[in-house]
Structures are given as structure tokens and as C-alpha cells.
């Protein structure tokens, strides 16, 4: 039975069945242990942000571009321009690996966590090493980079994918790539057309943190709800801070004497 295609129930301490955790759940744990615990134990999730439909469209168009070269066995021009000795990889599981609810999967035996993550693309170099590629899109008035503190989540994303592929026995290059496109703001108008400038950014991944993080996640899942702690970027988690302040205001309101009409 393809149990990994089913939506998971809340985690039960001591359960025998492997518990599904996505790449995004690992990122949630790295950002805030309390938010993670509420999600997996009680299915109380953070509020959803609006979908970025333009980014989704760009992802799909990038895939079509690279798939054309995948079928032909040729490098994409951006690979040639950056002297990347590789081609888009053909693999019988690529469609599954790209699908959000399957992705690349493995069961981590020490924690019994069923870890999965959907990749954007895979390239292969001359030595047969897989290269993890992630598409990113933005619109700002300066060149794109991955140097901001908040972009640690981008880097961890590639590293989790590298770890997943290695856990399945594949040879994976430490070097991954961001195909990062930036909407141009320097034009004289919209004219029913958006223009982008795409940059290829290499990143040397280090997935050594993933397995220790999974062990800490399992310990967190088996324990009591963590206290409100520091967020990944410093300071209190915005979601926890909001929930705490709202709760205190609600309690204060309830305790106030009611005015007689």
C-alpha cells in the first residue's frame, strides 16, 4: 500500500507506523519548536500565506524549458553560460520526485520518521553525480543573491534534498544550484508583459545537520509542548508572540466587570 500518499494523522506518542514529515516540517522545526509541536501533535498549523501564483507559473515554465533539453540530452543555455558541465537528468522517478505529495522519500530508521521533499529539478554531471537544482523568483531593484540571513531556509532546502537522495543510495554533488529569476523594475512600464533576468547561483551544501535535527524533532514530538522560544532569526517567534498577546488580551477582557445596561 502506498501509505506515503495518504495525509498523515496527528502524531501519537509511541505509534508504530512511520510518521510523515515533509521538508517544510523540518524547516518549521528549525524556525520554532513550539509551532512544530503544535502542528504535528495537534494539527494546529500556522496561518497560511496567500499562494504565489506567479511564482508557481514561473516554476512550471522553467520545468518546460529544462525538460526540452532533458529530452534532447543537451545542456540548457544558462548551464553553458556558467560553464556547468552537466545536463538535465533523465530518471524514471523524476515525476514522482517533483510531485508535492510524494517527492523523494526515505524512512529514517533511528526515528521512524518518513521524510519526503519535492525537488524542482535534477541535473547530472560528467561523473554521474546528481545535482540538486531549485527555482526561485522575486522582483527587486538589485541583483539576486542568497546572502541574506533569512535565506538560510533556501540553503537548508537544497541540503535536505541532497540528504534524501543520498539516503536512497545516489551519488550527489555537494554543489547545488539556484536558478534565480528577478522581475525587472527598471522598464518604462508594464505593457501587459513582465520581463525577468535569471541568474545561476551555485551553493556548496552540507547536509550533516539533517540527521541530528531529525533526532531532535523526534524527541520534541515525544515530549510536552515547548515553551515559547527564540525564532531562527532572533527574537520571539512572530506566530507565538501574536498568539500569546492575543490570549492575554482575551483573558484580560473576560476578567473585566461587565457593564450594566
Q: pLDDT value at position 2? A: 42
Cβ atoms within 10 Å of 144's Cβ, excluding its own: 19
3-state DSSP call for residue 36? helix
Q: Which of 26-30, 62-66, 176-180, 241-245 has the lowest mean pLDDT?
A: 241-245
Rounded to whole angstroms, the Cα distance separating 118 from 261 reads 59
> Which of 152, 203, 194, 239 is CA-nearest to residue 55?
194
Q: pLDDT value at position 49? A: 81
Q: Which residues contact 31 (CB under 8 A, 6 or more apart)?
A: 153, 231, 232, 237
Alpha helices in the chain (DSSP H): 23-31, 33-42, 53-72, 77-81, 94-98, 152-167, 210-222, 238-255
Cβ atoms within 10 Å of 27's Cβ, excluding its own: 19
3-state DSSP call for residue 83? coil
Mean pLDDT of 31-59: 91
Contact 206, 149 (CB under 8 A): no
Q: pLDDT value at position 234? A: 61
β-bridge mates for residue 201, sequence order: 178
Residue 43 has pLDDT above 80, yes or no: yes
Mean pLDDT of 137-157: 93
Top CATH class of 15-222 equals alpha beta
> Which of 172, 39, 178, 13 is CA-nearest to residue 106?
172
DSSP 183: E
Q: pLDDT value at position 227? A: 85
Per-residue confidence band for 255, with pLDDT thresholds at 50, 70 and 90: confident
Pairing relation of β-strands 175-183 and 196-204? antiparallel
Condensed to tens digits (0 to 9), the pLDDT of residues 73-110 reads: 999 999 999 999 999 999 999 999 999 889 999 999 99
Q: pLDDT value at position 67? A: 97
Q: pLDDT value at position 53? A: 86
Its pTM stands at 0.90
Q: pLDDT value at position 7? A: 58
Sheet order of strands, 175-183 included:
86-88, 121-125, 130-138, 175-183, 196-204
DSSP 174: S
Cα 261 from chain centre:
54
Per-residue confidence band for 5, with pLDDT thresholds at 50, 70 and 90: very low
Average pLDDT, the chain: 92
Per-residue confidence band for 209, with pLDDT thresholds at 50, 70 and 90: very high
Contact 32, 225 (CB under 8 A): no
Mean pLDDT of 199-221: 97
**C-alpha atoms less than 13 angstroms from C-alpha of 202 in its C-beta half-sphere:** 11
Residue 232 has pLDDT above 70, yes or no: no
Amino acid at each position: 500500500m502506498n501509505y506515503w500518499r495518504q495525509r498523515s494523522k496527528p502524531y501519537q506518542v509511541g505509534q508504530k507506523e512511520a510518521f510523515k514529515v515533509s521538508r517544510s516540517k523540518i524547516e518549521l522545526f528549525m524556525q520554532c519548536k513550539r509551532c512544530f509541536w503544535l502542528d504535528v501533535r495537534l494539527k494546529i498549523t500556522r496561518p497560511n500565506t496567500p499562494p504565489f501564483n506567479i511564482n508557481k507559473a514561473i516554476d512550471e515554465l522553467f520545468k518546460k524549458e529544462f525538460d526540452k533539453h532533458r529530452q534532447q540530452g543537451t545542456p540548457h543555455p544558462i548551464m553553458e553560460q556558467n560553464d556547468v558541465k552537466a545536463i538535465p537528468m533523465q530518471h524514471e522517478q523524476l515525476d514522482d520526485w517533483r510531485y508535492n505529495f510524494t517527492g523523494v522519500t526515505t524512512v529514517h530508521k533511528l526515528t521512524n520518521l518518513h521524510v519526503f521533499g519535492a525537488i524542482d529539478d535534477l541535473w547530472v554531471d560528467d561523473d554521474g553525480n546528481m545535482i540538486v537544482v531549485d527555482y526561485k523568483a522575486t522582483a527587486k531593484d538589485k541583483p539576486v543573491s542568497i546572502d541574506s540571513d533569512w535565506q538560510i531556509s533556501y540553503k537548508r532546502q537544497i541540503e535536505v534534498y541532497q540528504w534524501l537522495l543520498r539516503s536512497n543510495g545516489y551519488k550527489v554533488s555537494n554543489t547545488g544550484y539556484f536558478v534565480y529569476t528577478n522581475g525587472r523594475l527598471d522598464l518604462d512600464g508594464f505593457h501587459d508583459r513582465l520581463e525577468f533576468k535569471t541568474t545561476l547561483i551555485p551553493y556548496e551544501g552540507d547536509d550533516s545537520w539533517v540527521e541530528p535535527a531529525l533526532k531532535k524533532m523526534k524527541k520534541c514530538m515525544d515530549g510536552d509542548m515547548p515553551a515559547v522560544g527564540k525564532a531562527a532569526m532572533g527574537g520571539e517567534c512572530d506566530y507565538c508572540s501574536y498568539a500569546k498577546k492575543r490570549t492575554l488580551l482575551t483573558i484580560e477582557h473576560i476578567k473585566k466587570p461587565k457593564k450594566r445596561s
